[in-house]
Amino acid sequence: MDKLENIGYGDWFRNQVDVGKIAVHEVARVVAVHKDSCVITKGDGDVFAECSGNLLYLSVSPFDLPTTGDWVYANFYDDDSHAIIHGVFPRRTLLKRKTAGKLVDFQLIAANIDVAFIMQSVDDNFNLRRLERYLAMVNESEITPIILVSKCDLVASDEVGEIKKNIMSIAPHITVSAFSNLNGENITAIKSSLLPGKTYCLLGSSGVGKTTLLNSIIGSEQFETKAVSKKQSKGRHTTTSRELVKLENGALLIDTPGMRELGNISIDAGIDETFSEILELAEHCQFRDCNHTYEKGCALLAAIKAGDLDEQRYKNYVKMKNESAFHDMSYSEKRKKDKAFGKMVKSVMKSKKQR
C-alpha cells in the first residue's frame, strides 16, 4: 500500500482528482485545523500548512475551506517543513453542525469519516432524545453510526443491560456496545473493531470520556482529559481541537470537543432514516398531507394512544422536522420569522410587566 492509502486514500478520492491540479500540486490529508493554519500529512509526518491567498479569497462559506479529515491539494517547501494548501477535494462524507446562537452559520466538524462513534455515559448524560439528534446528524452524512455507552463501571450490570435495551428500541439496526475506561471492559473489543485505513470519529457531550477512550486505545495518557466538576467545567471543553490520530494498527481516529448545541441544518434524510418506523406509520394516515398534530385519522396519534409509539420519541421527531424545515427556509424568510418571534416575545414581556 502506498503512503496515502495508509491514511485513508482510495478509489473514491482517486476518481475525484482534478487533472489540472494534480499536475502542479501533491495530495495530502488534513490532520488538524487551527485558527489560521492547518497540519497536513502525506502519510509520513505532520507538516505545518496555510491556505493560499486565492483559496481564502474565493471561499464564500466554511464549506470551501479545509476541515479535519479533508483531502487537499498542496505544495510542499523546504524539505516538507511547511506547505501551502491550494484546494480541497470533494468530500465523501461530512459532519457539520449549526454554530451556537447564530442563524445560518454552521461549522464543519470533520470530513471523510467512515464510522462515527456516538458516545453517551451511563450517568445523567444518558438521553435517548439527544441520541436521536446525533443519529440524525450521522445518518444524514451517510456515515455508519455505532453507539457507545461509556462509564459502565458506574452502575450495576443489569442497569447497563437496561440502557442498552432502551437504545436498541430506538435504533434496532445499530451496533451498541458498553465499555469502561476505568476497568477496561470491552476496550479490547472496540480496539480490534477498528480497521486499518478507515477513518473513525468520536462524538458526544463534553465529559463522556471520548479522549479517555482514545488514550485507552493507544495505551498512554497522550491526550488531555479532565475530571468533570459540574460547576467548574460548565461550558468548557477539555478537547478544543479536532485531531486525526493514526493508531498503531493503521486505523485513523478523530477526537472531537463535546458539543453543547447540536443544531440541524436540513438533515431531513437523516431524520427520516433515524425515525423510519414513524415514516412507515405515517403512510397509514388518512390524509396525505397529515401534519400528525390533531388530524382525523392520523396513524401516529393512533399509535401513541395504543401505546405502540412512544410519545417522547414522536415529539422529538416533530421538533426536529420543524427545525429542519426552518433551516431550509431562505435567509430573509428566517429573518422575518425571527423578527416576528422577537416582537411576540417583547409584547409578552411588556404585558407581563404591566400586570
Ligand X SMILES: Nc1nc2c(ncn2[C@@H]2O[C@H](COP(=O)(O)OP(=O)(O)OP(=O)(O)O)[C@@H](O)[C@H]2O)c(=O)[nH]1
Contacts of 323 (CB under 8 A, 6+ apart): 263, 264
As given in the structure block, the three cell numbers for residue 172 are: 434496532
Binding partner at 285 among Mg ion, ligand X, Zn ion, none, C-beta below 5 to 8 Å by kind = Zn ion
CB of 233 to ligand X, least distance (A): 7
Stretch that binds ligand X, among 103-111, 126-134, 146-154, 275-283 (CB under 6 A): 146-154
Contacts of 58 (CB under 8 A, 6+ apart): 64
CB distance 93 to 113 below 8 Å: yes
**Closer residue to ligand X (CB): 161 or 297:** 161
Under the binding rule (CB under 6 A), the answer on residue 218 touching ligand X is no
Under the binding rule (CB under 6 A), the answer on residue 153 touching ligand X is yes
Identity of the amino acid at 224:
E
For Zn ion, the binding residues in 277-316 under the rule CB under 5 A are: 285, 290, 292, 298, 300
For Mg ion, the binding residues in 212-271 under the rule CB under 5 A are: 238-239
Under the binding rule (CB under 6 A), the answer on residue 120 touching ligand X is no
**Closer residue to Zn ion (CB): 247 or 302:** 302
Dist CA 176 CA 116 (whole Å): 12
Under the binding rule (CB under 6 A), the answer on residue 125 touching ligand X is no
Q: Find the angle CA(76)-CA(81)-CA(86) to the nearest 5 degrees.
A: 30
CB distance 179 to 149 below 8 Å: yes
Under the binding rule (CB under 5 A), the answer on residue 211 touching Mg ion is yes
Q: Kindly tell me the burial class for residue 212, based on how many C-beta atoms sit within 10 Å of its own C-beta (0-12, 13-18, 19 or more).
A: buried
Q: Which residues bind ligand X (CB under 6 A)?
A: 150-151, 153-154, 180-182, 206-212, 225-228, 237-239, 257-258
Q: Which parts of this chain interact with Zn ion (CB under 5 A)?
A: 285, 290, 292, 298, 300
